[in-house]
Structure 1
Amino acid sequence: MNKKTITRRHLLGAAAAAVVLPATARAQMALQPAEVEDDFTRRNVSSFAAHDWRDHFSDLGKGTILADTVSRALHYWSGDGSDYRIYPTSVPKTEELTKRGYTEIVRKKVGPDWTPTASQRERFPDWKYMPPGPDNPLGTHAMYLGWPAYVIHGTHDTRKIGRRSSDGCIGLFNSSIAELFEITPIGTQVRLI
């Protein structure tokens, strides 16, 4: 009879693999964000909840966006109903930071700058104004909502997508927000659930 025994060497090897593999995965994400985004969408599309715009809005208006904070997905319908898209998102870290209800897109900006809100500065005194660029938490594009300080925006940190990682906003991959930005007119109705 051939019995397998677990040796100290096996345990050390398993521990080393547990440390090295996540670091390798993070490095791969940093080097290939477009491939990470495609892989993320393929792996998580089954977890997105299906929605029909009629369950949330009386008409499509200029366009309609539904941000589902539970399934961490943003749904977009064009004003004529011919275009439907779904994007993976980051969502607020806590219920206290999550605003729900109806609003609309009131302003759009390519290369947004970012200023922390008063409550953010209170919680994080080291947070300062950031001009557009690779360190800016709003990524490459921002669509401002009718609620002050709430934004649908991109992120340079692809690890945030699919997680509770924002301070209240809805974040998308930079390539996704660029696409959504182009097709979304100001006045598009938005609901966060």
Structure 2
Amino acid sequence: MTGSIFSRRRMMVATGAALATPSLVLAQEVPVPETHRRNIMSFTTQRWQDHFDELGKGAIVADISSRALHFWSGDGEIYNVYPSSVPRTDELTKRGYTKIVRKRVGPDWTPTASMMERNPELKYMPPGPGNPLGTHAMYLDWPAYLIHGTHDTRKIGRQSSDGCIGLYNHKVEELFALAEIGTQVRLF
């Protein structure tokens, strides 16, 4: 009886080793280029040079697929990455180049015509805890598109907006202080 237990153990070890070997070999053979590395949050590394000719007053890249907003200061000394909410659908997603044209602490919110069409119960909201724009907003030169905060932290990291890029309130406050009017923005 002892001989059969030993044989079973031996067979199990040999089978486990045989199954693990291809995975170990593959894991060692696949180099990951620096531009495709991802951190634990799935943010893809970005370089401002891949999106803009110069930094100017600063640069923001909103990466819709990895749900991250990248910011570089105009002098290139600051590079921050923020988790973000992104538009729910491709129809709501505007992609391309724009810039920050206005900033506001305590923004008020008025639903767009398309929002009202989907939900006629939506109404104007003054600044405050229920406001979907959170504590700070940066308006882009595309009408009705903003980078703003949110009081609903469940939205961050998800496809949950009607076109805007949302950040945690404490993160949008940080970005608001860093990003100047005229900061170039790319959504892709």
TM bin (shorter chain):
0.7 to 0.9
Pairing 1:124–2:119 present: yes
- How do residues 170-185 of structure 1 correspond to structure 2 at under 5 angstroms? 170-185=165-180
- State the match for 2:162 in structure 1: 167
> Match for residue 59 of structure 1?
54
> 1:123 Cα deviation (Å)?
1.0
Secondary structure at 2:167 match in 1: strand
In the aligned structure 1, how far is the partner of 2:41 from the partner of 2:179? 25
Q: Which residue of 2 aligns with 1:107?
A: 102
Task: Write out the 4+ residue segments of structure 1 that deviate beyond 3 Å after TM superposition.
Answer: none
Percent of residue pairs identical: 72
Match of 1:24 in 2: none
Q: CA deviation at 1:45?
A: 4.3
Question: Who is 1:29 aligned against?
Answer: none
**2:6 match:** none
Alignment of 1:127-142 (within 5 A): 127-142=122-137
| 1:96 match: secondary structure | helix
Is 1:87 the equivalent of 2:79?
Answer: no
Name the structure 1 match of 2:73.
Answer: 78
1:146 has 2:154 as partner = no
Residue 96 of structure 1 corresponds to 91
1:46 Cα deviation (Å)?
Answer: 4.1
The one-letter code of the counterpart of 1:164 is: Q
Partner Cα distance (2:41, 2:93) in 1: 24
State the one-letter code of the partner of 2:152: D
Per-residue CA distance 1:156-183 (angstroms, 9 max, x = gap): 0000000000000000000000000001
TM-score normalized with structure 1 length: 0.77
Question: Partners of 1:157 and 1:143 in 2: how far apart?
Answer: 18
Unaligned runs of at least 5 residues, structure 2: 1-38
Cα deviations by residue, 1:41-84 (Å, 9 ceiling, x for unpaired) = xxx74410001100000000100000000000000000010110
Structure showing greater radius of gyration is: 2
Match for residue 150 of structure 2? 155
Q: Secondary structure, in 3 states, of the residue corresponding to 2:160?
A: strand
Instruction: Note the aligned Cα RMSD (angstroms).
Output: 0.8
1:185 and 1:47 map into 2 onto residues whose CA distance is 28
